[in-house]
Chain A
């Protein structure tokens, strides 16, 4: 049971890492696109 909980917690941490990375990249690309399309 504890093993499974640990595995799930590690998975959640992995998902958080991917999502955080994705949001950062998304915000950056959005800023670049806004600057590009504004002109």
Chain B
């Protein structure tokens, strides 16, 4: 019972914090995760394996390479595993967020409420990332390779930023695993 106040505070802040993050995502990528068609199928997945299978289907056939499964396992699988652990850790009560969004511009007063686990929303974001070609061979090759004198610098810069983002994602996963492990040790 002593943990109740802290949990209820989190429940109050959680929707607003996540709402801001979703709005930021929508502004950057022009994709609305709350209404994305991939979300319902990911919500029905009960295990990291099922989620990875659903995400694997998002990779365009033209982007498939021999190493795409390795790339998927290398950075998507750890992230999915950690997020799935998070969902289980924070429980069903904290894992469900009510997010309001307007369905049409003409009827802005029509606000619909949909409840869904935030982890499923993030999995949807990963699915979108896979669908835009994150595992395309031209993007997963090493950043510092010799490309000849006519290769423009803009592309190398773009790949460096991409590499940095993926590294940040992996670091985030590693930090999350460490945090979960230390929490379990404390208990």
A-B contacts at CB below 8 angstroms, number: 117
A13–B6 CA distance with the chains assembled, in angstroms = 24
Interface residues on A, range: 20 to 34
Chain A positions within 8 Å of B54 at CB level: none
Of B6, B17, B175, which is within 8 A of A6 by CB?
B17
Chain A contact residues, majority secondary structure: helix
State the CA gap A16–B7 with chains docked (Å). Answer: 27
Determine how close the nearest CB of chain A comes to the CB of B78; give it in whole angstroms.
11
Given contacts A23-B129, A29-B154, A30-B138, contact A13 B159 (CB under 8 A): no
B176 A13 Cβ-Cβ under 8 A: no
Interface residues of chain B: helix, strand, loop or mixed (majority):
helix
B169 A20 Cβ-Cβ under 8 A: no
Contact of B121 among A7, A13, A19, A37 (CB under 8 A): A13
Check if B154 sits within 8 Å of A13, measured CB to CB. Answer: no
Taking the closest CB of chain B, its distance from the CB of A22, in whole angstroms, is: 5
Task: Tell me if A2 and B28 are in contact (CB < 8 A).
Answer: no
A20 vs B152: C-alpha distance when bound (angstroms) = 22
Query: Within 8 Å CB of B176, what residues of A?
Result: 5, 8
A2 touches B90 (CB 8 A): yes
A21 to B161, CA, bound (A): 11
Residue ID in chain B nearest A30 by CB atoms: B155
B122 on the interface (CB 8 Å rule)? Answer: yes
Per-residue CB contact flags for chain B residues 14-29 toward chain A (1 = under 8 Å, else 0) read: 1001101110110011
A3 CB to closest chain B CB, in angstroms? 6
**Interfacial chain B residues near A4, Cβ < 8 Å:** 179
Are A26 and B139 neighbours in the complex by a CB distance under 8 Å?
yes
Chain A residues proximal to chain B, CB less than 8 Å: 1-27, 29-30, 33, 37
**Apart from A13-B25, A26-B159, what 9 extra A-B contacts exist at CB < 8 Å?**
A7-B17, A12-B169, A16-B169, A22-B162, A24-B29, A24-B132, A27-B136, A29-B154, A33-B152
